[in-house]
Amino acid sequence: MHRGKGMKFVGDSRIKATNKMPNTPKDYSEYPGKTEAFWPNFLLKEWMIGAIFLIGYLIVTLAHPSPLERQADPTDTMYIPVPDWYFLFMYQLLKYEFASGPYNVIGAIIIPGLAFMALMLVPFTDTTKERRPFKRPLPTGFMILSFLAMFYLTWESVVNHDWEAAKVQGAIVDEVEFDETAEGYEIYQGSSCIGCHGDSFQGGLGLPLTNTGMTADEIIEIAHDGRGSMPPGTWEGSDEDLQVLAEFIEGLNTD
Amino acid sequence: MLNKIYDWVDERLDITPIWRDIADHEVPEHVNPAHHFSAFIYCFGGLTFFVTVIQILSGMFLTMYYTPDIENAWKSVFYLQNDVAFGELVRGMHHWGASLVIVMMFLHTLRVFFTGSYKKPRELNWIVGVMIFGVMMGLGFTGYLLPWDMKALFATKVGIEIAASVPFIGEQIKILLAGDSTILGAQTLTRFFAIHVFFLPAALLGLLAAHFIMIRRQGISGPL
């Protein structure tokens, strides 16, 4: 057998000169039309498409820095989780009655499992020689249906999620330095506020009280009347103390 | 000079056939967008690989700063994002690449499906392709936890509960992934890191090799 550069190749190197593999498809040169050498002609064109793609990719990356929420806090029981967008259809599926609670296994395992197995076994369920999509309506129809179902579920999940609330609940809270011996902080420690708003105003069940952008009067009003999930009438101390505390909170700014 | 080096190696290792197998083949007209613009649908597979390569490279750079431990994971990502030169860009590429790879892979799957390219003799390559799809989803799921921020922790909690609802072996899968039957914490983070950085990429590279070898063996499917 010849070694090195003296070796003879016939057409494609994977085909031996004498016994052509019975199961290989036709050699490319047997296709009608203009074939092109992969190396280097075609690869150069691919390189150009890759470069254009990379430019778009970099523009997206620069225009939208990747998100980072605040550090994980396992004690926060109010956080509403949401997966990355490509899992949203499964997330949505698990919200339906027939696929959650006692039937959770249907939505979590059986439906996705069946879909995945069906996809994997397509070559053995669609065994005809026909390749054109319109000539094999069943596989084409099933694929379009599954695509529409995934699209619909993702859509439903996106429109039903409160993205504003999601942004607030995950936002990184800047720690504000404050004087722990101040009168305002002493009042805060003695009140029920600290239970929900945290010992350094970082939030918890309630929102953070730093950088609120509110005036003392607005803060007093919320303390009396409540807002959102905060019930009215939570302030139980005197009006004078509340005034001091509200002014203290007003001053809790990073800059 | 280069030729001499090539000859020297070739004389000993007979690399010409390897080179021919990798690069020396013809690209037929029906998959070449230069001849038919609609053939751009045949680019999706290559672009998936392109993004995968970017994911591997950017991921390698991310591990230079990332610390897989619950005290420091978030801080290391925050530092990488805000203080390291080009850290935001590298993390951004990894973040957006994760979505792009799913999109490109999905388009590639649809192209193969609607052109009926999975039919005999390419059944095995389709199966390997679907397995790559599964591995990519696994990479997306495990990578989501690593920044150790709020959405990471709570999405992973949900994901682990889903894994735990598998009949009969759910509890074992949960313990394997989370490291504990109840706590989702330090063990979970190191395990997800190991799965994301070592186990799944190893599986992915093996499957990709099989995918490409089979394409070279069988050639791309003919025109419709």
Instruction: Report A:11-30 residues touching B (Cβ under 8 A).
Output: 12-14, 23-29
**SS3 assignment for A75-128:** CCCCCCCCCCHHHHHHHHHCCCHHHCHHHHHHHHHHHHHHHHHHHHCHHHHCCC
Range of the domain at B151: 1-18+27-218
Task: Please determine, for residue A182, whether its predicted confidence score (pLDDT) is greater than 50.
Answer: yes
A16, pLDDT greater than 70:
no
In a domain, B87, yes or no: yes
Q: How much is the pTM?
A: 0.84
Segments in A181-226 forming alpha helices (H): 183-190, 193-197, 216-225
In a domain, B224, yes or no: no
Given a contact cutoff of 8 angstroms between Cβ atoms, the answer to whether A230 and A173 are in contact is no
Q: How confident is the model at residue A172 (pLDDT cuts 50, 70, 90)?
A: confident
- CATH code at A183-250: 1.10.760.10
pLDDT at A1 over 70: no
Of A9-13, A146-150, B111-115, B175-179, least confident by mean pLDDT is A9-13
- Helical H segments across B14-86, by residue range: 16-23, 44-62, 73-82
Please report residues of B whose CB lies closer than 8 A to that of A67.
Answer: 95
Structural domain total, chain B: 1
Interface of B with A in 186-215 (CB under 8 A): none
Higher pLDDT pick, A187 / B77:
B77
- Overall average pLDDT of the A191-197 stretch: 85
Q: What is the mean pLDDT of each run of 10 residues along chain B (224 residues)?
A: 91 81 81 90 95 97 96 96 95 96 97 94 96 97 96 94 92 94 93 97 98 88 85
The residue extents of the domains of chain A are: 36-66, 85-160, 183-250
Q: In angstroms, rounded to a whole number, what is the distance separating the alpha carbons of residues A162 and B92?
A: 24
Q: CATH code at B99?
A: 1.20.810.10
Domain presence at residue B223: no
Report the gap between the CA of A162 and the closest CA in chain B (Å): 14
How far apart (Å, rounded) are the C-alpha atoms in residues A15 and A96? Answer: 55
Q: What is the pLDDT of residue A15?
A: 46
Query: Which residue does chain B place closest to A101, by CA atoms?
Result: B165
Written as six digits, the tokens of A136 are 């094999």
Q: How many CA atoms lie within 13 A of B23 on its CB side?
A: 9
The CATH-assigned architecture of domain A85-160 is Orthogonal Bundle (1.10)
Identify the pLDDT of residue A20. Answer: 53
Chain A contact for B223, CB < 8 A? Answer: yes
Segment among A79-93, A103-117, A239-253, B188-202 with least mean pLDDT: A239-253
Closest CA in chain B for residue A45: B34
Q: Do you know the residue count of chain A? A: 255
Name the more confident of A26 and A157: A157
Give me the residue from B10, B98, B217 closest to A4, CB to CB.
Answer: B10
Nearest by CB to residue B26, choosing from A4, A29, A131, is A29
What would the mean pLDDT of A144-157 be, rounded to a whole number? 96
Q: Report yes or no: B30 and B39 within 8 Å, Cβ to Cβ.
A: yes
**Lowest-pLDDT range, A112-121, A125-134, A169-178, B161-170?**
A169-178
Whether B185 and A74 lie within 8 Å, measured CB to CB: yes
pLDDT attached to residue A13 = 47
Cβ–Cβ below 8 Å for B151 and A82: yes
Determine, yes or no, domain membership for B78: yes
The arithmetic mean of pLDDT across residues A81-99, rounded, is 92
Three-class SS state of A36: strand
Nearest-angstrom CA–CA distance, B210 and A139:
26
- Between positions 227 and 246 of A, the ones with CB within 8 A of B are none
- Confidence band, pLDDT 50/70/90 cuts, at residue A101: confident
Instruction: Kindly report the number of other CB atoms within 10 A of residue B142's CB atom.
Output: 21
A81 CA to chain B: closest CA distance, Å? Answer: 5
What are A27-86's pLDDT values in tens digits?
565 666 788 888 888 999 889 989 999 999 999 999 999 999 999 988 888 888 899 999
User: What pLDDT score was predicted for residue A3?
Assistant: 46
Whole-number pLDDT of residue B202: 98
Fold agreement between A85-160 and A183-250: no
Contact (CB<8Å) A26/B222: yes
Secondary-structure breakdown of chain A: helix, strand, coil percentages, each rounded to the nearest 5 = 55, 0, 45
The reported pLDDT for the residue numbered A10 is 46
Q: What is the pLDDT of residue B186?
A: 94
